[in-house]
Amino acid sequence: MADHDTLPIPGTTLFDGDAAAKGYALNALCYSFNDAANRQAFLDDEDAYCARFDLTPVQRKAVADRDVLGMIAAGGNIYYLAKLAGIFGLNVQDVGALQTGKTVAEFKQMLLDQGKDLAHG
């Protein structure tokens, strides 16, 4: 491993073994949302549904607060968290806005701006 491989990347959390171990219960909750019946059960009684997954208090609070950065800090992986976001009809621009403190319109404009100087093709 090169020395610079240990340097943090700003605004970025690598989902490594530590995160995967810490986040297992939270990610298991989100993975269960591949099943429509589980999505409905979550909507019907969020507390009761989350109680099945043995979340840490920090993870439960992050879910309750819809705090995406908090979920990531608690070991959530975005591919699984996206399934939770989907329950609320949120797409990756909505989730991007939540994480960057932008409005959704500002976040979308930031994406568009990155392409405006490209010669196409």
Partner 1 sequence: MAEVVGAYFTSHVPAIGGAIHRGDQQTPYWKPFFDGFLRVHEWLAEVKPDVAVVFNNDHGLNFFLDCLPTFAVGAAHEYHNADEGWGLPLYKSFAGHPALSWHIIEQLVGDEFDPATCQKMKVDHALSIPFELAWPDVDAWPVKIVPVAINTVQHPLPSAKRCLALGRSIHRALASWQGDERIVVIGTGGLSHQLDGARAGFMNPEYDRFCLDNLASDPDALTHHSIHDIVRLSGTQGVEVLNWIAARGALGPTAREVHRNYHIPISNTAAATLLLDPV
Q: Which helix (H) or strand (E) segment is 7 a member of?
A: none
Give dist(CA 33, CA 49) in Å, integer. Answer: 11
Half-sphere exposure at residue 25, Cβ-oriented, CA atoms within 13 angstroms? 16
* Least separation in angstroms between CB 40 and partner 1: 12
Residues 61-80 that bind partner 1 (CB under 8 A): 68-69, 72, 77-80
Q: Supply the DSSP symbol for 2.
A: -
Residue 121 lies near partner 1 (rule: CB under 8 A): yes
Lookup result for tokens 């059960």: 41
Note whether 20 binds partner 1 by CB under 8 A.
yes
CB of 56 to partner 1, least distance (A): 16
Is 100 a binding residue for partner 1 by CB under 8 A? The answer is yes
Verify binding: residue 82, partner 1, rule CB under 8 A.
yes
